[in-house]
């Protein structure tokens, strides 16, 4: 499958998915292998870092081989190895970084450490073959909620972020409070479809006018207080209504803030990224508002919203083409800024 194309092998182990993928010329997805650990962590109600690391170690070689096999390329035909080096769980990250460095050491192929958040944004390049920076991006994941101006493939300006919980974190915590369990985002998304978004009004937190920052810890407390007071009063809590009310409040704030940012910065393209980009209500509300405002909306294919290695291979491709290269001193960083 090489045909003169530039082949990148991507590796991703930042949290609870062991993933490897092969991308040709930065945009052409040849394989995308994801070995999820969801079933294992469900028993604990969330990701257990030590278990995640051990599982990555067990799965990583098999995933890499499966990605090469499915893409019908040999390691010899790979031109570049890209690996997530942060942010994420440190014990999980080092497994991917060690695997990538071992491959570089054995083959002499160039190596690039990819910032996981740059990877998420890059999932859009795989979904929209003609999309190129600059554009305004909304990043909504388990660890991040950011409004970012993407000036180039390797140049990001963060305009705002969460002051407390990330949106995905809020989904996961609220899901636990209402007994939906892990992973919270998809479970709330599903429950909300059966609920009434107007039955319970949770307060929307917009912070100061003009701010591109977010705060989601308050709404989590509001849900907790609501559930406790209803339970104490002997009333049955309608979980679907709570899920729908919570989701509606968060989605409204996020949508309003990114649309305001686009208006103020005179940007007519919004590119969404991260696990919460899979949320059906967020996709629907953004689509409706962008349509009304004449803004072009880019949503990653649902299969590329949550963690995967295809987005890492894509980001690595562009960083390499713009002149960056790492060496065997590459390290993993739990906290890595945009
Ligand atoms: O981007 P991601 O896979 O990992 C991080 O980089 O954090 O995002 C995971 C987050 C989790 O909090 C998960 O609950 C959330 O994305 N998520 C969703 C949906 N699917 C995943 N949140 C809302 N609705 C969904 N359908
Ligand atoms: Zn992620």
Phi-psi region of 26 (alpha: psi -120 to 50; beta: other; left: phi over 0): left
Q: Cβ(333)–Cβ(87) under 8 Å?
A: yes
**Averaged pLDDT in 10-residue chunks for the chain of 338 residues:** 91 97 98 94 90 96 98 98 98 98 98 98 98 98 97 98 97 96 94 98 94 96 97 97 98 98 97 98 98 98 97 98 98 97
Structure tokens at 91: 């014990």
Q: Whose CA is nearest to atom 4 of ligand 1?
A: 142
* Any atom of ligand 1 within 6 Å of the Cβ of 82: no
* pLDDT tens per residue, range 97-119: 999 999 999 999 999 999 999 99
Neighbours of 291 (CB within 10 A): 11
**Residue bearing tokens 């096999």:** 69
Neighbours of 7 (CB within 10 A): 24
Structure tokens at 144: 């991040």
Write down the pLDDT at residue 1. Answer: 65
Write down the pLDDT at residue 206. Answer: 94
Best probe residue, ligand 1, of 141, 184, 216 (max atoms within 8 Å of C-beta): 141
* pLDDT tens per residue, range 60-104: 999 999 999 999 999 999 999 999 999 999 999 999 999 999 999
Find the 240 Cα to ligand 1 centroid distance in Å: 19
Find the 185 Cα to ligand 2 centroid distance in Å: 13
pTM of the full predicted structure? Answer: 0.97
């Amino acid at each position: 499958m090489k045909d003169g194309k530039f082949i990148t092998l991507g590796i991703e182990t930042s949290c609870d998915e062991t993933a490897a993928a092969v991308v040709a010329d930065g945009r052409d997805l040849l394989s995308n292998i994801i070995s999820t650990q969801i079933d294992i962590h469900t028993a604990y109600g969330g990701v257990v870092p030590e278990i995640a690391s051990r599982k990555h170690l067990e799965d990583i070689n098999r995933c890499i081989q499966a990605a090469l096999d499915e893409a019908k390329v040999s390691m010899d035909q790979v031109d570049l190895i890209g690996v997530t080096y942060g942010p994420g769980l440190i014990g999980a990250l080092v497994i991917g970084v060690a695997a990538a460095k071992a491959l570089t050491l054995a083959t002499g192929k160039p190596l690039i450490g990819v910032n996981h958040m740059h990877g998420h944004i890059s999932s859009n390049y795989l979904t929209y073959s003609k999309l190129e920076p600059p554009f305004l991006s909304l990043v909504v994941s388990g660890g991040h909620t950011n409004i970012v101006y993407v000036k180039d493939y390797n140049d990001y300006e963060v305009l705002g972020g969460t002051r407390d919980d990330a949106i995905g974190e809020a989904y996961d915590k609220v899901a636990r409070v209402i007994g939906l369990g892990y992973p919270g985002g998809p479970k709330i998304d599903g429950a909300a479809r059966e609920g009434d978004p107007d039955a319970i009004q949770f307060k929307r937190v917009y912070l100061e006018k003009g701010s591109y920052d977010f705060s989601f810890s308050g709404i989590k407390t509001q849900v907790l207080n609501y559930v406790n007071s209803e339970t104490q009063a002997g009333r049955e809590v309608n979980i679907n209504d709570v899920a729908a009310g919570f989701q509606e409040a968060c989605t409204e704030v996020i949508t309003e803030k990114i649309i305001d940012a686009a208006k103020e910065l005179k940007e007519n393209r919004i590119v969404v990224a991260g696990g919460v980009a899979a949320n059906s209500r967020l996709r629907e509300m953004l689509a409706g508002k962008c349509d009304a405002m004449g803004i072009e909306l880019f949503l990653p294919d649902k299969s590329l919203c949550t963690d995967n290695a295809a987005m890492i291979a894509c980001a690595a491709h562009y960083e390499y083409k713009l002149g960056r290269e790492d060496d065997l001193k590459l390290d993993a960083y739990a906290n890595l800024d945009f």
